[in-house]
Amino acid sequence: MKVSVILTVWISIVFLVILALYLSWQSAFSITERKVELIGELTQFDRVNEMQDTDFNVMIIGTSLSVLGFLPEDKLNLHFADSAYPVHFSKVTITASGAKELEPLIIKALGSQADLILVEINPWSLRFGIGHALTLHRYWLATLIQSRFGITPHRFIFLRSFMANNTDKFVMPNGASFEKFSGFQPYVTGFSPITLQALEGRADRVKFFYPNFARELLEHKGAAWQKKLKKAHLQLSHETGVELLPYIESQGYQSYTDLVHVNINGSDYYMTWLEKVVAEAVSKVQQ
């Protein structure tokens, strides 16, 4: 009798664990209204309400590439302080994030006063290796558990968006540095119905941008790989009605800490690109 009771208990525990993993997997790769609100809370999205009606409000949504590529949020606003037209920036990022963690930010942004919403396209156009889905699930499972206890995972803390990129270190392009990104493959992750619905009639406020990688890594990947990635970008643009902006210019390896994330030198090229994009957007408003 005791053996059967113990066995029943263990079977129940295993069943509950499997059920929890299944539900968290479903949650990691889908969008619900509750997930939109949770990610809004974790990224402290309400702070973007500081936007003013009199300003041209720009929001940047992305991963660690955007964290390091663009100036910290406060410095972004200082950088554009002398613009002929008042510009206000918000930078909302989640490091090590997947498409279904960033989509809630797009939905929230469309409900804000943002005039221009710049979205880093990588999470929807690249697959980062065989174990990438498992990694995203692990991160999301940790997020669900931590948030239950009132803990905000470090990768969601909005102060990461303020983190200054202050290093000029770089790695040499060689077998080891190429191998780190061998799993990067073009792959289209479609947008969820709830996000597509939010974009209807408002997609003109959103623009996709591609950060680009070191020239040496792109050359290593080859022309066919780059063509396939471009095709993925165009497909996403077509399916969502969101304009794909010109790519941020690829630089030599000296501008990257790891051939993908830029250092302080590479950040200059992000900023040059941003200045042009904002100037063109503001000029359309003034016409």
Main-chain phi, psi angles of 190, to 5 degrees: -70, 155
Identify the DSSP state of 278.
Answer: H
pLDDT in the model for residue 128? 85
CATH of 31-286, one of 1.10.10.1150, 3.40.50.1110, 3.40.630.30, 3.90.170.10: 3.40.50.1110
Mean pLDDT of all residues belonging to the chain: 87
User: Once rounded to an integer, what is the mean pLDDT over residues 267-273?
Assistant: 95
- 220 pLDDT band, cuts 50/70/90, is very high
**Residue pLDDT, tens place only, 194-209:** 999 999 999 999 999 9
Per DSSP bridges, beta strands 243-244 and 206-209 are parallel
**Separation CA 285–CA 77 (nearest Å):** 19
**Separation CA 77–CA 57 (nearest Å):** 10
Pull the structure tokens for residue 42.
Answer: 């974790």
**Residue pLDDT, tens place only, 81-108:** 887 788 999 999 998 899 999 999 999 9
**Separation CA 108–CA 52 (nearest Å):** 17
Q: Cβ–Cβ contacts within 10 Å for residue 145, how many?
A: 13
In angstroms, how far is CA 190 from the centroid of its own chain? 15
User: Residue 210 pLDDT > 70, yes or no?
Assistant: yes
Q: Compare 188 and 24 and report the one with higher pLDDT.
A: 188
**Separation CA 191–CA 228 (nearest Å):** 19
Pull the structure tokens for residue 226.
Answer: 């780059």
pLDDT in the model for residue 51? 72
pLDDT in the model for residue 159? 53
Would you list the domain boundaries of the chain? Answer: 31-286
Please name the residues in contact with 20: beta carbons below 8 A apart, sequence gap of 6 or more: none
Sign, Cα dihedral of 170, 213, 99, 133: negative
**Residue pLDDT, tens place only, 227-262:** 999 999 999 999 999 999 999 999 999 999 999 999
**Residue pLDDT, tens place only, 115-174:** 999 999 999 999 987 778 888 888 888 898 999 899 998 888 755 455 556 688 999 999
User: Residue 114 pLDDT > 90, yes or no?
Assistant: yes
Pull the structure tokens for residue 266.
Answer: 């590479």
**Separation CA 123–CA 284 (nearest Å):** 29
Q: Compare 10 and 108 and report the one with higher pLDDT.
A: 108
**Separation CA 155–CA 175 (nearest Å):** 29
Identify the DSSP state of 153.
Answer: P
**Count of residues making up the chain:** 287
pLDDT in the model for residue 9? 60
